Amino acid sequence: MNKLICLIFILSFAFADAQNTVPADDEAIVKIKVTTMDGKARPNDEIIFVSSKTGKSVTSISNKEGKSTIVLKKADKYEVFYNNLNEKEKVQEFEIPDSKGKYSINLSLKYDPPRTITLKNVFFDSGKAVLQKQSYTALNELYEALKMKPTMVIEIAGHTDNVGNQAANQLLSEQRAVSVRAYLIRKGIEGSRIQAKGYGDTQPVEYNDTSEGRQQNRRTEVRIISE
């Protein structure tokens, strides 16, 4: 089961410009620092700000020091999302006041993202390891996330329910993990960064006595080995 993201927002206001960034009168500079809970910088993290007024999003990518700077509209509330591989997690909301003058906001984010993510919308032909076309969107998003984290090493973990022969389930889970790995390699991710392993029906997340439980147990996970 995924670990909840822990996040702390620290907002401070400074009536000063920020590194050659010149906002319009209706804009504020937001200076972001992203770290782990123990204070280590998180480079190449994608933070998405979604305006409650317009629905438009602005994306920030942290540098090697975990820092980035963006410009957002004043007098607006923003939903803040963290892109955890191909899963976007809502972590908080914050509001930029309609204050006059030029100012910046310091925003400190601290979190330890889960190390295991269940891939959504990844489907295979029944009883086979053939990826269905509707899986490509989710896998392409995973590919883009791995490109942004060039040192990350992951495991693709395949799981089944307990219907049928245990040995067949084990083999199917392995083959499905290999199919996902092969897709990512074809897209351009180095094979040394992706392990594939099948667990059959040995690690259920729900009881197998209902169709809903079996569906949840038939899953593909990404496990972060190292960053």
Residues 15 and 75 in one domain: yes
75: domain CATH number is 2.60.40.1120
Confirm whether 158 is domain-assigned.
yes
Q: Which two tokens stand for residue 194?
A: 């992706």
94-148 pLDDT per residue, tens: 899 998 888 889 998 888 888 999 999 999 998 999 999 999 999 999 999 999 9
Domain residues for 128? 116-226
Return the pLDDT at 84.
85
Return the pLDDT at 81.
87
Return the pLDDT at 18.
43
Return the pLDDT at 21.
66
Q: Which of 68, 69, 94 is nearest to 79 (CA)?
A: 94
Q: In what order do the strands lie in the sheet with 57-61?
A: 57-61, 46-51, 76-84, 87-96
Return the pLDDT at 85.
82
Number of domains in the chain: 2
Q: Distance between CA atoms of 83 and 176, rounded to whole angstroms?
A: 25
Which stretches of the chain score pLDDT less than 70?
Answer: 1-21
Residues 104 and 122 in one domain: no
Domain end position, chosen among 110, 129, 147: 110
Looking at residue 110, its amino acid is K
Q: Which two tokens stand for residue 36?
A: 């782990």
Return the pLDDT at 100.
87
Return the pLDDT at 20.
56
Return the pLDDT at 12.
52
Instruction: State the DSSP string of 114-141.
Output: -SEEEPSS--B-TTS-PBPGGGHHHHHH
